[in-house]
Structure 1
Amino acid sequence: MRGIMFGYIRVVDAINHRIGRIAMYGIFILMGILLWSSISKTFFVPSLWTLEMAQFVMVGYYILGGPYSIQLGSNVRMDLLYGEWSTRKKAWFDVFTALLLIFYLCVLLYGAVSSTAYSLGYWGTEPFSFFGGLITGSEEIGRMERASTAWRPYLWPIKAVMVTGLFLMLLQCTSELCKDVLRIKGETI
């Protein structure tokens, strides 16, 4: 079991490290979009796509960088009591909070999958079976959801990014849970 946990931690941390390092450059894409927005509003006809595209890039930057942030331990934590605790007591507390976070992420992931299925034209109540049906060919994509703005982009790409980011966050939280269990057992990570 110990070897499986170490292998899982190594694989998930490597994946989220690479994706997080790539997602970091999303801030430059966001800056470029906002710079173009300012230039086009000042000198040319304002672009319709810049505000929404900036929002989409920010969502991708935030949600794909979240697992990397958890991996680095750079998330916000109250150190009023936590900072003075022993490593073992911190690990016990982190196990409890990781379990709560995993439950919350599972609820969010289900909602994101449902929303993505809806954006692809599915109006039923079983979004996972819809995606399984897309793979097997028994389901078809319906009328796709679009934003109600002048630009009217399709919403499924950003919702797919949200599903991916939440799934990666769930994997990283499970990795952190494994690290805490190993710390409780006295292992060094």
Structure 2
Amino acid sequence: MQGLLTLASGIDRMNRFFGIVAAVLVAAACAISAGNALSRYALDLSSNAFLEIQWQMFAGVFLLGAPYVLKLNEHVRVDLIYGGLNARRKLWVDVTGYLVFFFPVCFIMLEMAWPWAWTSYLEGEISANAGGLAVWPAKFLLPFGFTLLALQGLAEFIRRIAALRGDIALDVRYEKPVQ
């Protein structure tokens, strides 16, 4: 189990890196948006590329940041029942949720997104808008982001199993490993 927990920690570090990348993308998108507004209103210059890079960055923020949000346990959870459960039952709900919902959805998304992104790359797809950008890099964010998400789910699943076995303790309030 220790080897799996080490793997989970490595996945955490990798997704922390991509969480930082997502945060940088937020700042860059804000700067581009401000620069676009300034150039449009002050200089009467504009380009569709400024708008397109912003939505591509938004895709990066969401898809690269989501795994780190899962790691921090800051994702949205409807816990009408979950909140009232004891720690062990919460672990079982989490394990079941990962197996029945989380992993199947990640794998379905990967199965659908990979051919879509690959075809876009092979065709050298670019935006139909004048001055538009290449579209395939943004499309590759989908399978890449879901791969990162599935890996983070694996790390969380490993931790839940370890906690059920008594190998680690999780903070009951936040479901994070006790330091």
With structure 2 as the length reference, what TM-score do the two structures score? Answer: 0.87
In structure 1, give the amino acid aligned to 2:80. L
Q: Residue 127 of structure 2 is aligned with which of 127, 137, 147?
A: 147
State the distance in 2 between where 1:24 and 1:146 align: 26
In structure 2, give the amino acid aligned to 1:4. G
SS at the partner of 1:30?
helix
The alignment-based identity, stated in percent, is 25
Per-residue deviation, 1:161: 2.4
Verify: 1:162 aligned to 2:142, yes or no: yes
With structure 1 as the length reference, what TM-score do the two structures score? Answer: 0.83
Q: Equivalent residue for 2:116?
A: 115
State the distance in 2 between where 1:22 and 1:104 align: 24
Q: Residue 174 of structure 1 is aligned with which of 154, 159, 162?
A: 154
State the distance in 2 between where 1:144 and 1:47 align: 21
In structure 2, give the amino acid aligned to 1:62. F
Q: Equivalent residue for 1:96?
A: 96
Q: Equivalent residue for 1:76?
A: 76
RMSD over aligned Cα atoms: 1.4
Q: Equivalent residue for 2:12?
A: 13
In structure 1, give the amino acid aligned to 2:166. G
Check conservation: 1:112, 1:162, Cα contact below 8 A. Answer: yes
Q: Equivalent residue for 1:35?
A: 34
State the distance in 2 between where 1:115 and 1:45 align: 34
Per-residue deviation, 1:162: 2.3
Runs of 5+ in structure 1 lacking a partner?
122-142
State the distance in 1 between where 2:134 and 2:18 align: 24
Runs (4+) of structure 1 exceeding 4 A deviation are none
Check conservation: 1:40, 1:47, Cα contact below 8 A. Answer: no
Per-residue deviation, 1:96: 1.4
In structure 2, give the amino acid aligned to 1:148. A
State the distance in 2 between where 1:48 and 1:152 align: 6
Check conservation: 2:47, 2:131, Cα contact below 8 A. Answer: no
Instruction: Describe the superposition over 1:80-132 as per-residue Cα deviations: whole angstroms up to 9, x where unpaired.
Output: 221221111001101111121111011111222111111123xxxxxxxxxxx
In structure 2, give the amino acid aligned to 1:187. D
How many residues get paired? 167
